[in-house]
Amino acid sequence: MLTEGKALKVSITVSEGAMYHGASAYASILDFLFYRGVSGATVMKGVAGFGADHHLHTTGVVEVSDKLPMRIEFIETREKVTELLGKLEEMAGSGLIDVQETNVVKAAKFSKEQKAAPEHMKMEGKARMMRIYIGESDRWQEKPLHEALVQAMRANDIAGVTVYRGVLGYGAHRRVHKEKPLHLSRDASIMLSAVDTEDKLKSFLPVVDRMVEEGLVVLSDVDIIKYSWRAPELETD
């Protein structure tokens, strides 16, 4: 990754319609830079210009020119630029490449923090499933209880949770309200299902205790067959 200090700025100017191996040259160059691990690159489209052929190219109203200048710029260390220049010269074809010395005052940073993999990444084998049954209209501190529970689980690093809405149902927690105990409730039943290790769920139970006034928490043993965790993609801006 590029750091503060001396560096080189490379500008490659090609025609928009220029081709390299059957694909547009500027896009091929950008791909090349991307996959060779360049810190960042920008493609800019000129609105008018002229080059070696001394033809003036502009965007006509009637015809859309494909000869407008395209400029690809990137900043890298001298070593990296030296490594790439040969191939870039080939790809730029009849275009122009210029290199200037520059000074990086502030290097760009990853917009997402690179975090170490959480411990439950390797979770497999024996685990526990926790299902929480509540009503859709239940609230906790002015927000729907199921949303609050999902946030609480996230904050407590529970591996994952899914919220389900029942289409029909009745339950013990609805029953206490009703005069007729078996009356069918139209307030949808919500079920949250989470899987994690016994310890993690056990340490989360006091939170459930505090938040759920009325409802059911059901715990059961499960075997985790697969729990794969996708690393966040690197941002290359």
Partner 1 sequence: MKEQFEARMLRIHFGESDKWEGKPLHEAILAKCQELGMAGAIVYRGIEGYGTSTRVRHASLWKLSRDAPIMVSIIDREDQIAQLLPHLDAMVGEGLIAASKVEVIRYSRAAGEMKTS
How many residues touch partner 1 under the rule CB under 8 A: the total is 31
Report helix, strand or coil for 104.
strand
**C-beta neighbour count of 192 within 10 angstroms:** 21
**Out of 57, 120, 173, 200, the residue judged to bind partner 1 by CB under 8 A:** 173
Among 199, 220, 226, 230, binds partner 1 (CB under 8 A): 220
214 DSSP 8-state letter: S
Q: Return the number of the residue (23 or 184) whose C-beta is nearest partner 1.
A: 184
In the complex, minimum distance from the CB of residue 156 to partner 1, in angstroms, rounded to a whole number: 17
Among 77, 217, 224, 227, binds partner 1 (CB under 8 A): 217
Decide if residue 205 touches partner 1 (CB under 8 A).
yes
Site for partner 1 (CB under 8 A): which residue of 182, 225, 231, 234? Answer: 182
Of 117 and 176, nearer to partner 1 (C-beta) is: 176
Those residues whose C-beta lies under 8 Å from the C-beta of residue 29, and which sit 6 or more positions away, are 12, 14, 20, 72, 88, 91, 92
- Within positions 185 to 204, which residues make up the interface with partner 1, using CB under 8 A? 189, 191
Decide: is 135 part of the binding site for partner 1 (CB under 8 A). Answer: no
Is residue 215 within 8 A of residue 137, CB to CB? The reply is no
User: Binding residue for partner 1 (CB under 8 A) from 181, 198, 202, 237?
Assistant: 181
Whichever of 46 and 171 has its CB closer to partner 1, that residue is 171
CA distances, 137 to each of 148, 176, 201 (Å): 12, 15, 25
Q: Which of 77, 166, 203, 224 binds partner 1 (CB under 8 A)?
A: 166
Amino acid at 50: F
How many Å apart are CA 28 and CA 9, to the nearest integer? 19
Beta bridge partners of 112: none
Q: Tell me if 168 contacts partner 1 by CB under 8 A.
A: yes
- 40 forms beta bridges with none
Q: Under the criterion CB under 8 A, does residue 213 sit at the interface with partner 1?
A: yes
Q: Are strands 96-104 and 189-196 parallel, antiparallel or unpaired?
A: unpaired
| Distance from C-alpha of 140 to C-alpha of 211, rounded to nearest angstrom | 7
- Sign of dihedral through CA atoms 184, 186, 187, 193? positive
> In the beta sheet, which residues pair with residue 7?
102
Taking CB under 8 A as the binding criterion, the range among 9-17, 82-90, 101-109, 174-182 that sits at the site for partner 1 is 174-182
Which of 90-98, 143-151, 179-187, 228-236 is the region at the interface with partner 1 (rule: CB under 8 A)?
A: 179-187
Residues that bind partner 1 (CB under 8 A): 133, 164-176, 181-182, 184, 189, 191, 205, 208-209, 212-220
